[in-house]
Copies of this chain bind each other. A is one copy, B any other.
Amino acid sequence: MDFNIIKPLLVEDAKGKIVLLVMDGLGGLPMEPGGKTELETAHTPNMDALAEKSMLGLHEGIRPGITPGSGPAHLSLFGYDPLKYVVGRGALSALGIDFDLQENDIAARGNFCTVDEEGRVTDRRAGRIPTEVSEGLCRLLRENVRIPGYEVFLEPVKEYRFLLVIRGEGLKANIQETDPQGVGKKPLKACALDSDSEKAAEIVQEFVRQAEKVLANESPANMFLLRGFAQLPDWPKFPDGLGLKAIAIAMYPMYRGVAKLVGMDSPPAAQSYEEEIDMLEENWDAYDFFFVHIKKTDSYGEDGDFEKKVHEIEKVDALIPRIMALDPSVLIITGDHSTPCLLKTHSWHPVPVLLYSKVCRPDGIASFGEGACRQGGLGVRFPAFALMSLALANAGRLEKFGA
């Protein structure tokens, strides 16, 4: 979607409300030739009935054959072409653990590692130390590193991975990664890659000097590597660019984080699907756009647990009447990417999508599944980042282009 095209077309004081219901990793594959996918296997009477009044299709999050990560996959659903809007990995790490990254902060991903007496890396992951060890090391660094005028945050992520954030004035993040990308080599120096980033690079180097002394006697994690220095991106914000006051309802920090990144409000995490729909109802009058995220379809996909993924889809199906009772102008039901149980991982396969509105041109296909979606009016490779302009149109929120 091109915000420059959309923004001048926005209808003032439009009222139509849009719900984007994302079942993470929804798209699937049959477990054996001729079989059905997870969504096709699931008994989904509510979604099937809705499909008959909707447009169906398969969307592609990035480009053909490109498997989306969770961040780009959601950005794409929110209307941001993920090849154009790239989030730095450090910033993405911060989002993933619900760290409240602020403008001007610089963030980096850290890996605890092992170095020998000469400072050469012998294990880039320090034997995959457990998260609790990482927590202790982060605390140790937090207590012993001091950089006057700057705040330094260290947060464990998972196993040997941690997040480094430096807060202060005048920082820019175009800084050389210190990971030498192999064993037997010394960590690289965190040099500035442009003149605006020199201040920040100096501070990172000072942090590294102090921190390596603090860790010198630890084992096996006696050093660390820093990667993906990044700041919050300076993008058009979703509420401003699309004229939609937006709220993200999700159970996991990563998804609330990506939503916050584009300017959506995000109340504290819900604890169950029912609570997510409670939050949808409670906030119905206060917002125009509702992103509702369902995580477990992806988790069971990654586990390769076909039956549990099917059951999870069925649980979501049971929520549809409560959503429809709110009478949304537009309801989109889809996934962010495919996570077929057969593959136990994210995949590139296009994702089933259903777009309901009173003024769509219905396909009349009373079934929501990969095969049905292949027959639908949205086509088989609908760009995910164009869904929002279509949603705006269906919600009566766009003027015509040209006279």
Contact = CB atoms under 8 A, between A and B. Distances in A.
Interface of A: 2, 5, 9, 29-30, 33-34, 37, 53, 57-58, 62-73, 82-83, 86-87, 89, 92-93, 96, 340, 342-343, 345-350, 359, 361-364, 370-371, 374-383, 386-387, 389-394, 398-403
A66 B9 CA distance: 9
A382 B259 CA distance: 31
Contacts of A387: 64
A211 to B, nearest CB: 24
A343 B358 CA distance: 11
Nearest to A337: B400
Given A87-B402, A92-B403, A386 B29 contact: no
A383 B398 CA distance: 20
A377 B402 CA distance: 30
Given A348-B390, A364-B34, A371-B364, A67 B382 contact: no
B401 A377 contact: no
A235 to B, nearest CB: 15
Nearest to A394: B65
B346 A400 contact: yes
B370 A71 contact: no
15 contacts: A2-B83, A5-B63, A9-B66, A37-B361, A62-B401, A64-B386, A65-B386, A69-B401, A70-B403, A343-B359, A361-B370, A364-B371, A374-B375, A374-B376, A378-B381
Report which residue of A37, A375, A380, A402 has the largest number of chain B beta carbons within 10 angstroms of its beta carbon. A402
Given A65-B398, A386-B63, A377 B350 contact: yes
A39 to B, nearest CB: 12
A402 B348 contact: no
Contacts of A86: 402
Contact of A66 (B343, B347, B393): B393
A400 to B, nearest CB: 4
Given A53-B33, A72-B401, A346-B400, A389 B5 contact: no
B359 A68 contact: no
A72 B402 contact: yes
B72 A348 contact: no
Given A386-B63, A389-B63, A402 B69 contact: yes
Nearest to A95: B403
A390 B64 contact: yes
Most B C-beta atoms less than 10 A away, residue of A348, A394, A403: A403
Nearest to A397: B65
Contact of A67 (B345, B350, B401): B401
Nearest to A342: B359
Contact of A401 (B66, B349, B376): B66
Contacts of A349: 361
Contacts of A348: 390, 393, 398
Contacts of A62: 401
Nearest to A37: B361
B66 A5 contact: yes
A65 B400 CA distance: 10
Contacts of A375: 374-375
A379 B381 contact: yes
A112 B347 CA distance: 56
Given A5-B83, A89-B403, A342-B359, 11 more contacts: A37-B361, A65-B386, A65-B393, A69-B400, A71-B402, A71-B403, A340-B359, A343-B359, A363-B374, A374-B376, A378-B380
A113 to B, nearest CB: 20
A19 to B, nearest CB: 17
A69 B394 CA distance: 17
A359 B28 CA distance: 11
Nearest to A93: B403
